């Protein structure tokens, strides 16, 4: 396996209501719930992981559904848009589906030669479906089949007052290169992997600072194959004068966190051990899985968490 950053691992966002979030992402968007657990720092809050069948890195969107937290505000110093790959020719089908479910959508448009459809989730989170040649197998539901289903991340967009320092992290540490520019949008890409490989930097010198709450992204996680490579990146980041956490065991991957110079919280996450470490693949997301430090408090935690009704 390549000892470089392998594109995006996961993206974590904030929601206002667990049931509404679950209904939208599993039923309307058609993702699989691959893990239902709790926030490591706040076990009274769920942590949902959505992705493809096995929860492959590069397909995982996670949420902290803090009940009643209220609407956040996108702004500079944040990841402000998530891009999903969908099959070429599928956007009209998504327009019809989103209209059926009352989803707020924008107009289809073209960016860097690819057609895309913007929409927002029930909390206002900005997502785009991008027509892109992608061979990853999608998770199918009863009414969302392979010919339209999302195949995982295409890209993520970061909004910044100035892109230079963040771009240097991407190029000098992570091994990305500047591929193209359209207006104030700069596209960076890694050739270490062919999917979930794009980071767009949006330069907004007069942009307002965002507010992290429902409908905003909490952090962006980049992928490495294992802990050995992860710790090599930790040394690289420290050598650039940036502060970074020690390695943290998140049960399904190991994590490092640092805030890049533009203000966005970055994570470096490992492929190992994966989501089948505590559930077989056919049962992923079916059970409430607790970090081992909270297992002794399961009864209390289950009473605190909102009841989640499946579709």
Q: What is the DSSP string of 54-79?
A: T--TTSEEEEEE-TT--B-B--BTEE
Q: What is the pTM of this model?
A: 0.97
CB atoms within 10 A of CB 172: 11
Residue 1 belongs to a domain: no
CA nearest 279: which of 43, 33, 62? 33
Residue 214 belongs to a domain: yes
pLDDT digit string (tens) for the chain, length 311 residues:
479 999 999 999 999 999 999 999 999 999 999 999 999 999 999 999 999 999 999 999 999 999 999 999 999 999 999 999 999 999 999 999 999 999 999 999 999 999 999 999 999 999 999 999 999 999 999 999 999 999 999 999 999 999 999 999 999 999 999 999 999 999 999 999 999 999 999 999 999 999 999 999 999 999 999 999 999 999 999 999 999 999 999 999 999 999 999 999 999 999 999 999 999 999 999 999 999 999 999 999 999 999 998 74
The pLDDT assigned to 283 comes to 97
The pLDDT assigned to 103 comes to 98
The pLDDT assigned to 136 comes to 94
Domain residue limits at 14: 8-304
Residue 311 belongs to a domain: no
Sheet containing strand 217-224, edge to edge, reads 32-39, 42-51, 60-65, 8-15, 217-224, 265-273, 253-259, 248-249
Distances (CA, A) of 191 to 171, 194, 197, 199, 259: 12, 7, 7, 12, 24
CATH number for the domain harbouring residue 20: 3.10.180.10
Q: Which two tokens stand for residue 71?
A: 């609407």
Q: Which two tokens stand for residue 153?
A: 């991340």
Residue 93 belongs to a domain: yes
Residue 310 belongs to a domain: no
Residue 309 belongs to a domain: no
The pLDDT assigned to 74 comes to 97
As beta bridge partners, residue 259 has: 265
The pLDDT assigned to 2 comes to 75
Cβ neighbours for 176, distance < 8 A, ≥ 6 positions apart:
5, 170, 188, 189, 190, 199
How many folded domains does the chain comprise?
1
Residue 224 belongs to a domain: yes
Cβ neighbours for 214, distance < 8 A, ≥ 6 positions apart:
14, 15, 16, 66, 69, 70, 71, 72, 123, 124
The pLDDT assigned to 143 comes to 93
Residue 73 belongs to a domain: yes
């Amino acid at each position: 396996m390549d000892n470089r950053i392998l594109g995006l691992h996961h993206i974590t966002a904030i929601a206002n209501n667990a049931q509404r979030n679950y209904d939208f992402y599993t039923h309307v968007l058609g993702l699989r719930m691959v893990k239902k657990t709790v926030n490591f720092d706040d076990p009274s809050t769920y942590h949902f992981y959505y992705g493809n069948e096995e929860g492959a890195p590069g397909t995982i969107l996670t949420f902290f559904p803090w009940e009643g937290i209220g609407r956040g505000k996108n702004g500079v110093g944040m990841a402000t848009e998530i891009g999903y790959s969908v099959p070429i020719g599928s956007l009209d089908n998504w327009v019809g589906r989103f209209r059926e479910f009352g989803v707020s959508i924008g107009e289809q448009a073209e960016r860097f030669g690819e057609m895309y459809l913007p929409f927002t989730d029930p909390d206002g989170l900005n997502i785009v479906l991008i027509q892109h040649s992608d061979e990853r197998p999608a998770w199918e539901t009863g009414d969302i089949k392979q010919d339209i289903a999302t195949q995982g991340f295409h890209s993520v967009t970061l909004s910044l007052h100035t892109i230079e320092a963040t771009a240097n992290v991407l190029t000098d540490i992570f091994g990305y290169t500047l591929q193209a520019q359209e207006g104030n949008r700069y596209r960076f890409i890694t050739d270490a992997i062919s999917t979930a490989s794009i980071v767009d930097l949006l330069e907004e010198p007069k942009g307002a600072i965002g507010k992290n709450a429902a409908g905003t992204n909490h952090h962006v996680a980049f992928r490495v194959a294992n802990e050995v490579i992860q710790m090599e990146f930790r040394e690289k980041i420290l050598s650039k004068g940036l502060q970074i956490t020690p390695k943290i065991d998140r049960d399904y991957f190991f994590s490092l966190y640092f805030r890049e110079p533009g203000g966005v919280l970055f994570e470096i996450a490992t492929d190992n051990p994966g989501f089948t470490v505590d559930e077989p693949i056919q049962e992923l997301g079916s059970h409430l899985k607790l970090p081992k430090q909270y297992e002794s408090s399961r009864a209390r935690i289950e009473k605190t968490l909102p009841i989640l009704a499946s579709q």
